[in-house]
Amino acid sequence: MDSLDLQVLSQARDWFNQGHKVWLVTVIETWGSAPRPPGALLCLRGDGLVVGSVSGGCVEDDLIERVRTGERVAKPSLITYGVTKEEAARFGLPCGGNLRLVQEPLLAVNWIDEILARTARHELVARTLQLDSGAVAVETAARGEKFQFDGSRLRALFGPRWRLLIVGAGQLSRVLAQMALALDFEVVCCDPREEYHLTWDVSGTTFSKEMPDDLVLQLSLDPHSAVVALTHDPKLDDLVLLEALKSPAFYIGALGSRGNTAKRKERLALFDLSPAEIERLHGPVGLDLGGKTPAEIAVAIAAEIVAVKNGVALVQKKEGSALPLTSGVCIGTR
């Protein structure tokens, strides 16, 4: 899921409530290179207006033309583009790829209301669509789930599959939180220091005054979780690292120079962490982009988190930086 899909659902609901005929189009399968993954949504209005995308190319134009010329499906239907090389070229599909879609008429919006309300509460939910009946259901989903389609039933995810815990509520944390929200992370900030938590005002995030090690245990970090310690206070940063490094979180980083990172590892070694667990720490945190301002440093941190999430080698690191033995997770983004 990405935030665009929620925008599509919101617009679909508004158009429906205004009395328009509305259809939803979902990507169910792609071959070769494709700009939009399975689960991506497009909303098509009866007069040809669209929001969202399924290909980023001529497929959208063809869908609009179908509606404008009177081809308006009354029940969920399959559409396939790019069966032949000629069609793939015609519809602008990269590398001759194929694209399969489900087009469905929007008959009610109560399920959209539920999805938008639950995702606003940072819940991860799944929508199921039965192609034979058009029945729609919304239910709780798990972070490890992916988009599914078995030929008769579609199951798409909405909400934050990825989660970022930021320890420290300073200026850098504010900027990083805003970037993480734009990247469709659920963001939790933790800082028990009163002079910081009273001024946290980043909309869309969750704030906690718990001690960071206690919060890590409460959150039950999973392989879709990342942790960044940014307080500059070893009493807080080390506390969260002691618990986070034992968790299955895919990324754990801490702010500090190479010298401070080395000293931090020496301190962590005094506790019940194995050498392998300590080596999971990304330090100094972030890629080497030459940044000096909080915004530039936040970009470097966000870029490293995304690279690790996507299984990309971290080649843009300062010489001598502590680099985990395995820097990529390759668990997929949908």
The pLDDT value recorded for residue 333 is 36
The pLDDT value recorded for residue 320 is 64
152 and 221 in one domain?
Answer: no
Tell me whether residue 93 is exposed, middle or buried, using C-beta atoms within 10 angstroms of its C-beta: 0 to 12, 13 to 18, 19 or more: buried
Binned at pLDDT 50, 70 and 90, residue 111 comes out as very high
Q: Report the distance separating Cα 233 and Cα 229, nearest Å.
A: 9
327 belongs to a structural domain: no
Structure tokens at 316: 């843009």
Find the helix or strand (DSSP H, E) in which 197 lies.
helix 194-197
Mean pLDDT over the full length of the chain: 86
Residue 266: partners with Cβ closer than 8 Å, 6 or more residues away: none
For the chain, the domain total comes to: 2
Binned at pLDDT 50, 70 and 90, residue 328 comes out as very low
Domain boundary among 158, 178, 194: 158
276 belongs to a structural domain: yes
% of the chain with per-residue pLDDT over 90: 52
At position 28, the amino acid (one-letter code) is I
252 belongs to a structural domain: yes
Q: Does residue 105 or residue 142 have the better pLDDT?
A: 105
140 and 106 in one domain?
Answer: yes
CATH number at residue 298: 3.40.50.720
177 and 304 in one domain?
Answer: yes
Secondary structure class of 112 (helix, strand, coil): helix
pTM (2 decimals)? Answer: 0.67
The domain in which residue 7 lies consists of: 3-158
Write down the residue that tokens 């029940």 correspond to.
Answer: 75
Q: Report the distance separating Cα 71 and Cα 62, nearest Å.
A: 11
Q: For the ranges 52-56, 258-262, 278-282, 304-308, which has the lowest average pLDDT?
A: 52-56
334 belongs to a structural domain: no
Structure tokens at 108: 């009610």
166 and 154 in one domain?
Answer: no
Secondary structure class of 305 (helix, strand, coil): helix
243 and 113 in one domain?
Answer: no
130 and 57 in one domain?
Answer: yes
Domain boundary among 115, 143, 158: 158
Q: Does residue 98 or residue 293 have the better pLDDT?
A: 293
144 belongs to a structural domain: yes
Binned at pLDDT 50, 70 and 90, residue 326 comes out as low
Mean pLDDT in residue range 252-271: 91
Reported residue count of the chain is 334
Residue 149: partners with Cβ closer than 8 Å, 6 or more residues away: 28, 29, 38, 102, 155
**Cβ pair 102, 25 in contact under 8 A:** yes
122 and 109 in one domain?
Answer: yes
149 and 23 in one domain?
Answer: yes
Write down the residue that tokens 């395995």 correspond to.
Answer: 326
pLDDT tens column, 215-244: 999 998 888 899 999 998 888 999 999 999
The pLDDT value recorded for residue 131 is 94
Tell me whether residue 234 is exposed, middle or buried, using C-beta atoms within 10 angstroms of its C-beta: 0 to 12, 13 to 18, 19 or more: middle
**For residue 292, pLDDT beyond 90:** no
Structure tokens at 173: 């944390």
328 belongs to a structural domain: no
Closest among 245, 185, 195 to 216, alpha carbons compared? 245
**For residue 327, pLDDT beyond 60:** no
The pLDDT value recorded for residue 243 is 93
For residue 160, cis peptide bond before it (omega within 30 degrees of 0): no
